[in-house]
Amino acid sequence: MTMGGFSFLSQTTANPPHSQATFFSSSNSSPDMACTAQQAPSCHTGKCILYTAGFVLGGVALGYFIGYKLALRKARVNSKVQLANDKVVDTVDMEDIGEKKAFCRCWKSEKFPYCDGAHTRHNNETGDNVGPLIVKGKH
């Protein structure tokens, strides 16, 4: 029970029923009232500030916790190529390379494992700096 509720209950038991109406009146005649109408705005301001501060701090703590948990999730790099496999492995024979081949490192290529230039769009959209792996054959 709050202090105001306890004070109100003590008022109703200590005073006869006809004096209950004076509890909320603006007169300062009763010295045993919790707070008069003139004092009410300043009397409860401290509680309001504490409740508001607690509410704001609770919201900040909750927002921080949610943001922290979401940041722990690792972003997936490969969102397109052989997603059903645990690990994507491609093998290319040196004879197939010929003079020069560019291999994709951004996982966005339609011709994976070969580069088709999709990293350019990816870099422009994200500010990343990924490029292809270029392998030259010995001739």
C-alpha to C-alpha distance for 2 and 35, rounded to whole angstroms: 14
CA atoms within 13 A on the CB side of 65: 6
Residues noted as catalytic: 87
Region of 116 on the Ramachandran plot (φ > 0 left; ψ -120 to 50 alpha; else beta): alpha
Kindly report whether the peptide bond that precedes residue 113 is cis, defined as omega within 30 degrees of 0. Answer: yes
For residue 3, give Cα distances in angstroms to 7, 9, 109.
Answer: 6, 10, 70
Name the CA radius of gyration of the chain, rounded: 37
